[in-house]
Each structure stands twice: as C-alpha cells, then as structure tokens.
A and B are shown apart, each in its own frame.
Chain A
Amino acid sequence: MASTTALRRLTLGGFRPARGFHSSARALIKVGDKLPNLDVLVENSPGNKVNLSEEVKTGKSLLIGVPAAFSPGCSNSHIPGYINHKSLKDAGKVFVIAVNDPFVTKAWGVSLDPEGKSGIRFLGDPSGKFTEALDLAFDGTAIFGGPRSKRYALVLEDGKVTAAHVEPDNTGVNVSTGEKVLG
C-alpha cells in the first residue's frame, strides 16, 4: 500500500528530533522503569486529563502505542489483534496511545470497539510529550506534520515495566502484536 511504503521509507531514513528543546531527559523506556509522571494524556476531550503513572500503580497494565489513528496498519491489524485476543481480560488495564488529539482518538476507539466491550481505553498525546518522554517518538513530519509514536507494547506490573516490545522499523506490525505480547 502506498501509505505503508511511504511510512517505511520515512522511518528508515533515521530519527531526527522534531523539537529542539527538551526540558527533561529522554531515555528509551526499559524493563524496570516507571512511567513518566506527566499530566499530558487526554481521553475523549481536551480537558479530560489522564495521568498514566497513577493509573498503572497497582496490578497489571498494558500500553499499546500506535503511529496513526485511522491508518490501515493500526486499524486493520494491530489494535484488532488485541480487541479480539482471548486473553485480553488477563492483561489488566489496557491503554492505546497515539499522538493525535482526543477527538480523533475517541472517534477511532468507537470505530474499533463501538460498545467498549474490550475495556481498552484510547488516549491522545496531542503534543507528543508523553511519547517523547519514553523516547518512543519518531519524526513523522513529512507525512503527519510532526512527531508520532513508534508502534510498541509495554507490559507493566505495579507501575514498573516488565516487558517492552518496540517495532524496530517504528511502524511495522511484528513484535508488538497481541499474539506476541499476550501469547
């Protein structure tokens, strides 16, 4: 598909930070890390903030990062692979995060799971700050006008990362699928 090819060409060209100034250090999130304590994620509307580091403090959680709400890879394969997974309920609290605004992520979530049966919550990271703090952003300027999230799945327990599955080419649907992560 033309768009996937364009995305691959873009990401293989190397990562260039889209923003020059960072107020906090970025380090690629790894096993044992906690999530950054930021108040930038939003759910359903711009005023509805979600602090994920608080949400994942106890029990099991799963964060799924995607490059683009409504894009074919994200919509047709990656997220449905989780929605339809037989062991989804054992994964604890599940969040999908995209560098999109919350109107878009809400509409996308509704299109993928109209009745919310999966329990998956769709969050927006409109400024990309949360994603950049995990060092999981790539430069999507050419196609998207700004930074976007790599495709990834982070498994957490009691607030700490126990497994990190990050697509090596940023956008492929290989190591971060429901099959690979949930079994």
Chain B
Amino acid sequence: MVKVGDSIPSVPLVEKEPGNHVDLSKELGSGIIIGVPAAFSPTCSDSHVPSFVAHPKIKDAGKVFVVSVNDAFVMNAWGKTLDADKASGIRFLGDPSGAFTRALDLEFDAAPLLGTNRSKRYAMVVENGKVKSINVEPDNIGTAVSTADKILG
C-alpha cells in the first residue's frame, strides 16, 4: 500500500473524454488526491466529495483531484452534478482499468457488487510530488478518516 514518502505513480488517468490523459505524477506538485469507490453512489455523492467541494479551505489546498475506477464520460457527468460551475476547482478523473489505483495498492474486490475492482476510499495529501499523508478507510467504503474536515481541518 502506498505510504508517506512515496512518489505518485506515473500511470495516466482520463479527464472528460477517453483520449484526454492526465498524469498526476506531473500535475502534482502539491495538492490532494481523493479516491472513491463509485461515482454516483450515495456515500461518494452525498457525503464524501461534497465535504471537499464545500470546504472553506478547498481553494488553499493546491490541485485537488477525485479519482475513481470509472470511465471518463461517467466522471465528467458526475463532476458536473457535484460542482456544476466548477467553483471548487476540483477535477474529476477516471481510472477505467484501475491501473493507477492498483499502482497505489488501494484497490479492493468489488466485483460481486459493481462488476470490477474498485478504489478504496482515501484522501492523500501530496507535497512536492511525494505523499505527505494518506488516510485510507479501514473498511474501504466508510467515511471515518478521509473526509474534508479530517484532511483540511
């Protein structure tokens, strides 16, 4: 599992369209990566991500990305439902094959419910391209340790 001090894997993610690749190892810098199990699922949509979208300090957090094992179309549509005018600056990226999530060793077997392996829920603070802190939900899907109040105060 990814740990403090690790570099961000150079595994491309997708944004808005399947051909539009984003390499977080190049984007960060400093910021936050928020991992979620399922775009459009109740917890991800009603609690976890909104806690970041609405947080007063989100603009000071650097570059913030939500990553999920979903395709680019789904992530784009989901991002619009959570932050229509992009006021928070949060970018929604897809990891369709799960390769990025696997490189962090943060996937879990969700195939029985959702058809594929999915990302655990986590929040990772990145500084100068290296993991500064990593909060992973112990049960993969809860919201005990990875919400905005725990990460941004």
Contacts and interface: CB of A to CB of B under 8 A. Distances in A.
Contacts of A1: 17
A3 B115 contact: no
A101 interface: yes
A31 to B, nearest CB: 29
Interface in B79-109: 81, 96-98
A46 B111 CA distance: 11
State the majority secondary structure of interface residues on B. mixed
A68 interface: yes
A170 to B, nearest CB: 15
Given A103-B39, A107-B81, A111-B77, A145 B115 contact: no
Given A46-B113, A143-B18, A70 B76 contact: yes
Given A3-B18, A68-B73, A145 B111 contact: no
B40 interface: yes
Interface of A: 1-3, 6-7, 46, 68-72, 99-101, 103-104, 106-108, 111, 124-128, 141, 143-146
Given A2-B17, A126-B114, A106 B73 contact: no
Contact of B114 (A101, A108, A111): A101
Nearest to A3: B17
Interface string B32-52: 000000111110000000000
Contacts of B113: 46, 101, 126
Contacts of A111: 77
Contact of A70 (B42, B73, B96, B111): B73
Given A70-B77, A145-B98, A103 B18 contact: no
B133 to A, nearest CB: 28
A69 B115 CA distance: 15
B19 interface: yes
B144 to A, nearest CB: 21
Nearest to A47: B113
Given A70-B73, A104-B40, A104-B74, A3 B114 contact: no
